[in-house]
C-alpha cells in the first residue's frame, strides 16, 4: 500500500483540500505539514511572539477544520486558508487587546546577539513601524511567498490595492533603513 503522506507532497493543495473535505485524515496531515511553516512565518511577521504565533496557527487549523465544508473544489486553497488565518489573527488581536486592558504584562528580557556578530537592522522593529495593512501584505508576499492575486483574495482586496500597500510599505522600509544607516 503506498504511503499517502509521501504521495501528498506531489499533490496540489487543492487536491489535498478536496480529499480532506471527504474525511481523509492523511490528506489533512499532508495539508497541515505543507502549509503550517508559511502560516507560522506569516504570524511571526505580524505578532513577534513565537508562543502567540503558535497559538494563532493552532486556531487557524481548528477553523479550517470547522469550515472545510465551505471550501469550493477547484478554487485555490492557499488564499482560502490565508483568509481564515487573517480572520484568526484579527480575532486574536481583539482578544489580546481586551486582556491587555485588564491585565498588566511582565516585560521579558531581549535576546542577546551572539558575540562577535555585526549588528544589523531589527527586522521586527522595522515591520512593526508599518501600518498593519502594509505589514500584512508584505508578510504574505515576501514571507509566505504568495502571488499578488492570492494576497488580494486572502485580504478581500483588489490586486491594485495590494500593489499600492506593498509599494507604500517598501518605501517606508527604505526610509527606515536609510535613517538607520543601512541605506544605499
Enumerate the domain spans of the chain. Answer: 1-103, 122-184
Whether CATH 1.10.1740.10 fits 1-103: yes
- Grid coordinates in use for 62? 481548528
Angle, vertex CA 123, rays to CA 97 and CA 36, nearest 5:
70
| Residue 133: count of CB within 10 angstroms of its CB | 16
pLDDT band at 46 (very low <50, low <70, confident <90, very high): confident
How is domain 122-184 classified at the CATH fold level? Answer: Arc Repressor Mutant, subunit A (1.10.10)
Rounded distance, CA 171 to CA 183, Å? 12
Q: What are the helix (H) ranges across 2-76?
A: 4-8, 13-21, 25-47, 50-67
Q: What is the pTM of this model?
A: 0.56
Highest mean pLDDT pick, 9-18, 76-85, 111-120, 139-148: 76-85
**Mean pLDDT within 129-150:** 90
pLDDT band at 93 (very low <50, low <70, confident <90, very high): confident
Distances (CA, A) of 53 to 60, 105, 165: 10, 18, 23
Amino acid at each position: 500500500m503506498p504511503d499517502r503522506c509521501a504521495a501528498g507532497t506531489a499533490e496540489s493543495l487543492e487536491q489535498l483540500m478536496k480529499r480532506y473535505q471527504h474525511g481523509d485524515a492523511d490528506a489533512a496531515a499532508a495539508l497541515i505539514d505543507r502549509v503550517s511553516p508559511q502560516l507560522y512565518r506569516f504570524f511571526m511577521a505580524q505578532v513577534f511572539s513565537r508562543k502567540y504565533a503558535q497559538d494563532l496557527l493552532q486556531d487557524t487549523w481548528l477553523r479550517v477544520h470547522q469550515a472545510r465544508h465551505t471550501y469550493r473544489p477547484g478554487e485555490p486553497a492557499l488564499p482560502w486558508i490565508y483568509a481564515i488565518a487573517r480572520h484568526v489573527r484579527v480575532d486574536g488581536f481583539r482578544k489580546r487587546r481586551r486582556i491587555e486592558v485588564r491585565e498588566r504584562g511582565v516585560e521579558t528580557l531581549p535576546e542577546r546577539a551572539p558575540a562577535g556578530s555585526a549588528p544589523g537592522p531589527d527586522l521586527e522593529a522595522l515591520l512593526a513601524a508599518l501600518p498593519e495593512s502594509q505589514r500584512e501584505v508584505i508578510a504574505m508576499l515576501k514571507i509566505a511567498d504568495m502571488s499578488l492575486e492570492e494576497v488580494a483574495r486572502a485580504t478581500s482586496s483588489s490586486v491594485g490595492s495590494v500593489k499600492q500597500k506593498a509599494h507604500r510599505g517598501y518605501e517606508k522600509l527604505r526610509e527606515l533603513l536609510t535613517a538607520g544607516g543601512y541605506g544605499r
